[in-house]
DNA sequence: CTGAAAGCGCTAACAG
DNA sequence: CTGTTAGCGCTTTCAG
């Protein structure tokens, strides 16, 4: 945890201060402060000019840290995600950064790597930096970090991973995981598939479970009973995806799989290729997520798109709103997902059981 | 640039201060400071305990901003990249973050989006935050930002995009672009290809030019004259890659292309697929870069791997070193790249011109 | 219209 | 061994 050396390098700390500017412009620091902050106070234009010139000449940059001591905003927002290398999160970060940038904030992005211990250390460090606000996507959906922020009274919004009722009344932006599981399964059912496996990953986060519930609901509605061995999980890795691919009902008509993470899906696809199997002939497939390669693999990949951009935008906008109005609360924002058709679903002649259970 | 509202929300600013802790522990603020910083000063263990307990109870977190006023480090490092959405940069960021984290720093990641104006605004904001150091990958290889950092005496290291001699004597970590162009072309030449196009992108950065020089050198050595129309460039986008694909010498024996950015390569591959063309039968291909999908497209993709992890690690380590020893300088670090074979290069019977030009 | 001065939270002499 | 105190750079009353 330690490591930050005590002394700043000799190089730092020589930045021009407001006092230098005042001296250089032959006025007082108060005046400089007023000029530099465009405060409503009438000053001789000539003086104003002189101050500006002096600041320019000295390369003066105001010290946000000092400013914050007086209880003003620091201009730093933090984003803490559990999988920084995952495009899904990256896309949200890009959007958050853009919004924050426009509002004059700088964004500190941290990666907990799904590790609650690391997450805690990071939160503590952020708190010590007196960040103005935080967007948090908790590792493993733990609630401790939120509690820490709550206690420090730092405005925050939870992104993507709900904490349910464990932390009452928190602001949340996410997408509809139940729906994504549901429409993915639905797409396979509509095409006539009946043996549909669900490929999850070992994680205590509710999202995966919600997707599974959506999947279960869709199958139940279609009158399809889920058989043992259809719901598969494993650690989150390409290799695990490859291994689990062996357990899929490959080659059987109406066989399909619903993958819930692109890393797992990639493993499955590579396994199929290695074994000389083809999709959708030997196995139909739908993925929840839109990695860069969805439109590159042939014959295409049906998938469920989550509104990453919108989520990032909404989370950032919400946080900014909360900074303006500390008492602002908004109902949880759960954005819809969208099914994108693709060649990985094999249309099957429906065996006369369609429109059944009536 | 403005936008940061003046007043911090009422919610903030109520954090416990060192004074609160002192009061609660029934001692002086000096003692608290010493205890909390593990300074070498002998204190009655009992007192020490009381202070720690009080801090714990009040949820005290020390204010890094206030600390920095005294000329100490703030604990913030900044990373400024030009393409935050690009995996190449993301991978480096992940590594930088990990290294910084271990050293007790928090990392602010910013995205200039290849826009020098935005970059300047960001640098100014970072300066005003009094960051302890910065890793910079300049948009379009401009040098202004480095000059700004230089002037503010903020230790920095330039990553990936060299500024050449424009800024003398700066610390740099990058990879060998000439080499990557060279070995990519070499791989195609070795396989017997002779009509080798170079697909770049419009950018003033030296990297692309260096890759082109490597390509040119390899062809020259092999006695292959570059014909007009072989060197193609365009804006950096998938669509542009698609468009330029039409100009490639598809279908001719010994036809190949060297792509310098995965986005362009993706466009090319998609164009081939749309037109019912296949690789490497109709066109051989090598890519500089390793997007997630290199091992997913079939029959594989030959590519040049850049040492992203090592670069990130080296840059972060170097910056930390510079923070410790302000006068520390290291020779520019240019890491080697590595060719990774793949099914996208069609081996051709070499037409007896091999080992020529002797 | 402008300047002096009181702190914001913290560190580090300097006195006890 | 421990407490008092002078600032770090800045904002903002309050007096000129």
Residue A2 has pLDDT above 60, yes or no: no
pLDDT tens for residues A79-124? Answer: 999 999 999 999 999 999 999 999 999 999 999 999 999 999 999 9
Instruction: Name the most confidently modeled range: A9-13, A247-251, B131-135.
Output: B131-135
The alpha helices in chain A, defined as continuous H runs, are 18-25, 29-36, 45-58, 64-69, 87-102, 116-128, 144-151, 177-190, 206-221, 238-245, 262-274, 308-324
Residue A167 has pLDDT above 90, yes or no: no
Q: Report pLDDT for A3.
A: 46
| Integer Cα distance of A208 and B212 in angstroms | 46
Give CA separation, A87 vs A110, A258, A293, B191, in Å.
15, 20, 11, 35
Query: How buried is residue A202: exposed, middle or buried, by Cβ count under 10 Å (0-12/13-18/19+)?
Result: exposed
Residue A69 is nearest to which of B66, B75, B154, comparing CB atoms? B66
Residue A239 has pLDDT above 70, yes or no: yes
Q: Report pLDDT for A355.
A: 45
Q: How many CB atoms lie within 10 A of CB A275?
A: 13
Radius of gyration, CA atoms only, chain B: 27
- Segment among A72-76, B38-42, B257-261 with least mean pLDDT: B38-42
| Integer Cα distance of A282 and B46 in angstroms | 72
Cβ A30 to strand C below 7 Å? yes
> What are the two backbone dihedrals, phi and then psi, of residue B285, each rounded to the nearest 5 degrees?
-150, 135
Nearest to A236 by CA among A207, A273, A256, A279: A207
Q: Residues of A288-305 as b/e, b for ≥16 C-beta within 10 angstroms?
A: bbbbbbbbbbeebbbbbe
Residue A224 has pLDDT above 60, yes or no: yes
Give strand letter and number of the nucleotide nearest A13 (CA to C1').
D8
| Integer Cα distance of A40 and B32 in angstroms | 41
pLDDT band per the 50, 70, 90 thresholds, residue A7: very low
More confident residue, B177 or B252: B177
Interface mutation vs chain B, best among A3, A7, A9, most B CBs within 10 Å: A9
pLDDT tens for residues A305-318? Answer: 999 999 999 999 99
Q: Which residue is nearest to nucleotide D2 (CA to C1')?
A: B31
Q: Report pLDDT for B253.
A: 78
Cβ B64 to strand C below 7 Å? no
| Integer Cα distance of A296 and B270 in angstroms | 6
pLDDT band per the 50, 70, 90 thresholds, residue B4: low
Q: Report pLDDT for B2.
A: 38
pLDDT tens for residues A277-303? Answer: 999 999 999 999 999 999 999 899 999
Interface mutation vs chain B, best among A6, A10, A11, most B CBs within 10 Å: A11
pLDDT tens for residues B210-229? Answer: 999 999 999 999 999 999 99
Q: CA at B354, C1' at D16: how many angstroms apart?
A: 93
Nearest to A132 by CA among A100, A164, A176: A100
Residue B358 has pLDDT above 80, yes or no: no
Q: What percent of chain B has pLDDT over 90?
A: 67
Give CA separation, B78 vs A130, B136, B334, in Å.
16, 8, 22
Å between A104 CA and nearest CA of chain B = 5
pLDDT tens for residues B25-40? Answer: 889 888 998 888 877 6
| Pairwise CB contact (< 8 Å): A93 & B72 | no
Q: Report pLDDT for B72.
A: 87
Contacts 24+ apart (CB under 8 A), A231-235: A231/A197, A231/A198, A231/A200, A232/A197, A232/A198, A232/A199, A232/A200, A233/A199, A233/A200, A233/A201, A233/A202, A234/A201, A234/A202, A234/A264, A235/A201, A235/A202
Q: What percent of chain B has pLDDT over 70?
A: 92
| Integer Cα distance of A222 and A189 in angstroms | 7
Residue B68 is nearest to which of A1, A65, A93, comparing CB atoms? A65
Residue A65 is nearest to which of B65, B98, B296, comparing CB atoms? B65
User: For residue A229, how far is the Cα from the chain centroid?
Assistant: 31
Residue B103 is nearest to which of A4, A122, A154, comparing CB atoms? A4
Give CA separation, A104 vs A66, A208, B61, B131, in Å.
17, 36, 26, 16
Q: Report pLDDT for A166.
A: 74
Residue B327 has pLDDT above 90, yes or no: no
3-state DSSP call for residue A129? coil
3-state DSSP call for residue B114? coil
Q: CA at B37, C1' at C12: how many angstroms apart?
A: 12
| Pairwise CB contact (< 8 Å): B76 & A108 | yes
Q: CA at A165, C1' at C11: how many angstroms apart?
A: 43
pLDDT band per the 50, 70, 90 thresholds, residue A141: low
Backbone conformation region of residue B153, classed left if phi is above 0, alpha if psi is from -120 to 50, else beta: left
Quick one: tokens of A77?
A: 């927002």
Tokens 């405005």 label which residue? A155
Nearest to B188 by CA among B305, B304, B358, B335: B304
Q: Report pLDDT for A257.
A: 97
Which residues sit opposite A288 in a β-bridge?
A304
Give CA separation, B24 vs A159, B27, B55, in Å.
37, 8, 8
The alpha helices in B246-330, defined as continuous H runs, are 262-274, 308-324
| Integer Cα distance of B324 and B319 in angstroms | 9
* Mean pLDDT for the stretch of residues A253-258: 90
DSSP one-letter code for A230: -
pLDDT band per the 50, 70, 90 thresholds, residue A330: confident
| Integer Cα distance of A257 and A286 in angstroms | 7
3-state DSSP call for residue A335? strand
Alpha-carbon dihedral sign for residues B232, B236, B240, B245? positive
* Mean pLDDT for the stretch of residues A217-230: 96
Quick one: tokens of B337?
A: 């790249």
pLDDT, averaged across chain A: 89
Rounded to two decimals, the pTM is: 0.90
CB-based contacts of B232, cutoff 8 Å, min separation 6: B197, B198, B199, B200, B244, B247, B248
A159, A174 contact by CB (below 8 A): yes
| Integer Cα distance of B286 and A269 in angstroms | 22
Q: Report pLDDT for B119.
A: 94
* Mean pLDDT for the stretch of residues A225-240: 95
Which residues sit opposite B255 in a β-bridge?
B195
Residue A70 has pLDDT above 90, yes or no: no
Q: CA at B29, C1' at D4: how many angstroms apart?
A: 10
pLDDT, averaged across chain B: 89
Residue B270 has pLDDT above 80, yes or no: yes
Residue B3 has pLDDT above 60, yes or no: no
| Integer Cα distance of B138 and B329 in angstroms | 20
- CA-CA-CA-CA torsion for B340, B343, B344, B348, nearest 10 degrees? 110
Q: CA at B126, C1' at C1: how many angstroms apart?
A: 34
- Segment among A30-44, A287-301, B54-68, B254-268 with least mean pLDDT: A30-44
pLDDT band per the 50, 70, 90 thresholds, residue A8: very low
Interface mutation vs chain A, best among B70, B296, B327, most A CBs within 10 Å: B296
Q: At A133, which helix (H) or strand (E)?
A: strand A133-136
| Integer Cα distance of B211 and B194 in angstroms | 18
DSSP one-letter code for B225: P
Q: Which nucleotides of D are covered by protein (CB under 7 A)?
A: 1-5, 7-13
- Degrees (nearest 5) of the Cα angle A150, A151, A154? 55
DSSP one-letter code for A132: S
* Mean pLDDT for the stretch of residues B75-104: 95
Quick one: tokens of A85?
A: 């290398």
Å between A300 CA and nearest CA of chain B = 11
């Amino acid at each position: 945890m330690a490591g930050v050396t005590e002394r700043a390098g000799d190089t730092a700390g020589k930045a021009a201060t407001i006092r230098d500017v005042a001296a250089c412009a032959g006025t007082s620091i108060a005046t400089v402060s007023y000029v530099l902050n465009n405060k409503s106070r009438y000053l001789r234009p000539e003086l104003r000019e002189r101050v500006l010139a002096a600041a320019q000449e000295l390369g003066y940059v105001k010290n946000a840290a000092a400013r914050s001591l007086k209880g003003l905003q620091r201009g730093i927002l933090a984003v803490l995600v559990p999988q920084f290398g995952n495009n899904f999160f990256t896309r949200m970060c890009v959007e958050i950064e853009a919004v924050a940038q426009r509002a004059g904030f700088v964004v500190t992005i941290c990666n907990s790597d799904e590790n609650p211990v690391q997450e805690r250390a990071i939160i503590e460090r952020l708190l010590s930096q007196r960040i103005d606000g935080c967007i948090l996507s908790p590792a493993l959906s733990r609630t401790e970090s939120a509690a820490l922020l709550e206690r420090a009274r730092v405005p925050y919004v939870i992104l993507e991973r709900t904490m349910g009722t464990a932390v009452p009344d928190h602001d949340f932006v996410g997408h509809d995981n139940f729906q994504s599981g549901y429409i993915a399964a639905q797409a396979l059912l509509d095409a006539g598939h009946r043996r549909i496996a669900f490929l999850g990953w070992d994680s205590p986060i509710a999202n995966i479970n919600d997707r599974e519930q959506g999947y279960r609901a869709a199958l139940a509605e279609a009158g399809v009973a889920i058989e043992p061995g259809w719901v598969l999980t494993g650690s989150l890795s390409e290799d695990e995806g490859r291994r689990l691919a062996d357990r899929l009902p490959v080659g059987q008509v109406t066989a399909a799989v619903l993958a819930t993470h692109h890393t797992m899906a990639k493993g499955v696809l590579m396994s199929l290729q290695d074994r000389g199997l083809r999709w959708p002939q030997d196995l139909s497939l739908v993925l929840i997520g839109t990695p860069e390669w969805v439109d590159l693999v042939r014959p295409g990949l049906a998938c469920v798109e989550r509104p990453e951009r919108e989520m990032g935008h909404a989370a950032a906008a919400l946080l900014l709103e909360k900074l303006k109005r500390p008492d602002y609360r908004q109902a949880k924002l759960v954005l819809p997902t969208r099914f994108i058709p693709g060649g990985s679903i094999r249309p099957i002649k429906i065996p006369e059981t369609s429109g059944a259970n009536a």
